[in-house]
Amino acid sequence: MSRDADNLTPRVFFFRHGETEWAKLGRQTGVTDVPLTEHGIEQVTPTATHLVGTGKLVDPERVVRVFVSPRERAQQTLQCLFPEEDLPIYPGFLRITDGIAEWDYGDYEGLTAAETKALRKEWGLDAEQEWSVWRDGCEGGESMQQVTRRLDRLISEIQDIQWAGMEAERPADIVLLSHGLILRAFVKRWLSFPVDMQLSIMLAPGAMGILTYKNNNIDEPAIHVGLTFP
């Protein structure tokens, strides 16, 4: 692939929001609006300083769409990363969408994983194997199948946008601002893996990851595992 083609291969930059009080305690946080802690804001700031801005890795001039979860903690992270004056203003550029909201924990909202497993045992569940949110989903919340459907819809929309960018030979980067569990599920679906596939992915609060395409081909979604910097 030529250097010019490589420079025009679209990317999806995904950011996990910074720390919250519930995240510090290991409490499952789906629909509850919990703001960032001061430390959570500090976690995002270096990324904004070093990686986001004109001529940097995440260049607003190359970004054609930003998808952000409706939760306060994700929108605070957006404000830390992209000051309002740095974002292009045109209809549809910034999308607040449930498509990238955190997994709905339902009856397990606010519980730790250990508390959830204990509760399910009390209900007579999981006699043969331990609960896994990836496989079993959440009572009163979302199943693996529901999460898969909404992520696949979003991925299809993103790939339509980026295919158009490839055809027109213009930058078409996408930014996602979201949550730890759903972003790891997003990575699996981007690679066409089932959500419950055993694939260990680490994504710390305030961290960023990158998805792209092999050979500048919309039919070859890939994950960026190494970068070179100018």
Could you tell me which residues are annotated as the binding site? 29-30, 73, 102-105
One DSSP character per residue, 29-62 reads -SSS--PBPHHHHHHHHHHHHHHBSTTSSB-TTT
Q: Which of 102, 109, 142, 179 is catalytic?
A: 102
50 is catalytic: no
CB 206 within 8 A of CB 6: no
CA distance 9 to 202: 25
CA distance 133 to 116: 10
102 is catalytic: yes
Q: Where is the binding site for substrate, in residues?
A: 29-30, 73, 102-105
Nearest CA-CA partner of 94 in 66, 74, 59, 73: 66
CA distance 38 to 30: 21
CB 51 within 8 A of CB 57: yes
CB 187 within 8 A of CB 179: no
Bridge partners (DSSP) of residue 69 are none
Catalytic machinery residues: 17, 102
